[in-house]
Amino acid sequence: MSTSPIPLLLRQQIIAEFHGRCAYCHTPTAITGARLVIDHIIPEAKGGLTLLENLCLACHACNEFKGAKVKFIDVDSGELVPLFHPRQDIWREHFSWSEDGGEIVGLTPIGRATIAAFNMNHREIIEARRRWVVVGWHPPLEDL
Ligand SMILES: [Zn+2]
């Protein structure tokens, strides 16, 4: 979790930049009503600074599962790989949606490791995403 205060203008800039959705799992505030948090991409505990280039928007779940992690095991290769970096990596190159929209699919070691580290496909969120599909709210447009 963030410990440094984030100035209001910087917070607003990050919310706009990430279109009000989690930079990792793409869950939007507009659907859940849950406020997103400002996430240090490189955690403060690992020396990450409170500067725009190290900040993104994240849901509570991704932010809490991430903690101070910067790497995680890719289940396919067994290798320790970096987590997805929302400012350096392109989401659709590492992730896609399952056919029914319920699950995030990892396309690369980084994608698979990040899904596992953040528990991005837990049962409750899969059920919620499937309901969002029914009403046309999901999957999100990836070119936002
Ligand atoms: Zn998330």
Question: How does 63-79 read in b/e, with b if 16+ C-beta sit within 10 Å?
Answer: bebbeebeebebeeeee
Instruction: Report how far ligand 1's centroid is from the alpha carbon of 61 (Å).
Output: 6
Report the pLDDT value the prediction gives residue 4, as an integer from 0 to 100.
77
**pLDDT, tens only, 109-138:** 999 999 999 999 999 999 999 999 999 999
pLDDT score of 72 more than 70:
yes
Mean pLDDT score, 68-77: 96
Specify the amino acid at residue 63.
Answer: N
Average pLDDT, rounded, for the chain = 94
Residue 142, pLDDT score = 64
Q: How far is the CA of 78 from the centre of ligand 1 (A)?
A: 24
Which of residues 78 and 142 earns the better pLDDT score?
A: 78
The domain spans of the chain are 8-134
> How far apart are the two ends of the chain, measured CA to CA in Å?
26
Contact 66, 118 (CB under 8 A): yes
Ligand 1 geometric centre to CA of 27 (Å): 6
As a whole number of angstroms, the longest Cα–Cα distance in the chain is 43
In this predicted model, what pLDDT tens digit does every residue of 77-112 receive, in sequence order?
999 999 999 999 999 999 999 999 999 999 999 999
Return the SS3 of 8: helix
Interatomic CA distance for residues 102 and 87, integer angstroms:
25
Whole-angstrom Cα distance, residue 127 to residue 18?
24
Percent of the chain whose pLDDT exceeds 70 = 96
